[in-house]
Amino acid sequence: MATIIDGKLTAATIKAEIAARVAEMVDLGKRRPHLAAILVGHDGGSETYVANKVKACEECGFTSTLVRFEDTCTQDELMEQIAKFNADPDVDGFIVQLPLPRHLDEQAVIEAIDPRKDVDGFHPINVGRMSIGLPCFVSATPAGILELLDRYQIPTSGKRCVVLGRSNIVGKPMAMLMIQKRQPGDSTVTVCHSHTQGIKEICREADIIIAALGQPGFVTADMVKPGATVIDVGTTRVEDSTRARGWRLCGDVDFKAVEPIAGAITPVPGGVGPMTICSLMINTLKAATGEIYPRN
Ligand code: GUN
């Protein structure tokens, strides 16, 4: 029986720690950290993420602002809002919820955000600083996974870590973080993707598997070494007529089959998901205190 890595519980603990820090700041006469979000359109997943971010801000004692645009909005309108948040001394950090409608240039949007307010850690300055081990905003999902590995004392030094997926948001930063000279880190990392040959054999060698492909149930029991740690980043909505809302979240790991073999495993939901939002709160607190980029 594997240890179930409880992201929901860990996230609740961390949010309580953050709320205590915020209460101290307020007692000292400082203003509350302020996270702003821009949401374009009405994508179901994005609506849920943003609603959860607003709720997490309340739990942590942060101020939050949500600016919405219709999915017909122009690049210029979006850029104008980003410039406003960049210039607003009252906003510590902000995010633009991704994905954006196809007519908008996502990379230009990311690069327009002031790296000092880029609490998503997507700006090339933050990605670059992360890759050479400098203080920066680390993107929320990989940061949340590191926090889980740390709090559950999963050994990573010298271990073989296989990252499934090479997205800019999860796979690439995750691989980069796991090879850093630090704890958790110091792993030997292999990144697998759609063109990788022999994925099953590669996974079977892994002490840690981090699955971020977006393919429900991709990691099966025959791919997991007994005792391995399995981190499931997948959050695909699959139809489920037994649920009132008509769908459920499905991870990249066949949990039922893998759990008896693994040493530790994250469930979906309640694993990585709650930690992602928690990391965003940690980054916003760091933006407010100026501990990564000193505030002018
Ligand atoms: N879409 C999926 N994950 C994320 C995230 O971490 N940040 C933003 N801005 N959009 C996302």
> What are the domain boundaries of the chain?
29-122, 140-274
What is d(CA 61, CA 55) in angstroms, rounded to the nearest whole number? 10
Residue nearest to atom 2 of ligand 1 (CA): 98
Pocket test for ligand 1, best of 78, 100, 120 (most atoms within 8 A of CB): 120
Cα(222) to centroid(ligand 1), Å: 31
Which residue has its alpha carbon closest to ligand 1 atom 6? 140
What amino acid occupies position 76?
D
Catalytic residue among 15, 53, 117, 159: 53
Task: Answer yes or no: 55 catalytic.
Answer: no
Q: What is the assigned CATH class of domain 29-122?
A: alpha beta
Which amino acid is present at 210?
A: I
- Write down the pLDDT at residue 296: 66
Q: Which ligand 1 atom sits nearest the alpha carbon of residue 99?
A: 1
Are the C-beta atoms of residues 276 and 141 closer than 8 Å to each other?
yes
pLDDT by residue for the chain (296 residues), tens only, comes to: 899 999 999 999 999 999 999 999 999 999 999 999 999 999 988 999 999 999 999 999 999 999 999 999 999 999 999 999 999 999 999 999 999 999 999 999 999 999 999 999 999 999 999 999 999 999 999 999 999 999 999 999 999 999 999 999 999 999 999 999 999 999 999 999 999 999 999 999 999 999 999 999 999 999 999 999 999 999 999 999 999 999 999 999 999 999 999 999 999 999 999 999 999 999 999 999 999 998 76
User: What's the CA gap between 3 and 23, in Å, rounded?
Assistant: 34
Identity of residue 204: R
**Same CATH topology for 29-122 and 140-274?**
yes
Mutation pick for ligand 1 pocket among 39, 94, 95 (CB with most ligand atoms within 8 Å):
95
The pocket around ligand 1, CB under 6 angstroms, is made up of 95-98, 120, 140-141, 169
How many angstroms is it from 50 CA to the middle of ligand 1?
A: 9
Hey, what CATH topology would domain 140-274 get? Rossmann fold (3.40.50)
CA–CA separation, 287 and 136 (whole Å): 10
Specify whether 90 is catalytic. no
> If you measure from the C-alpha of residue 158 to the centroid of ligand 1, how many angstroms do you get, rounded to a whole number?
30
Q: Which of 52, 169, 272 to mutate to test the pocket of ligand 1 (most atoms within 8 A of CB)?
A: 169
Question: Are 63 and 70 within 8 A, CB to CB?
Answer: no
Atom of ligand 1 nearest to the CA of 120: 7
53 belongs to the catalytic site: yes
Q: CA-to-CA distance for 248 and 268, rounded, in angstroms? A: 10
CA of 139, closest atom in ligand 1: 6
Do the beta carbons of residue 248 and residue 237 sit within 8 Å? yes
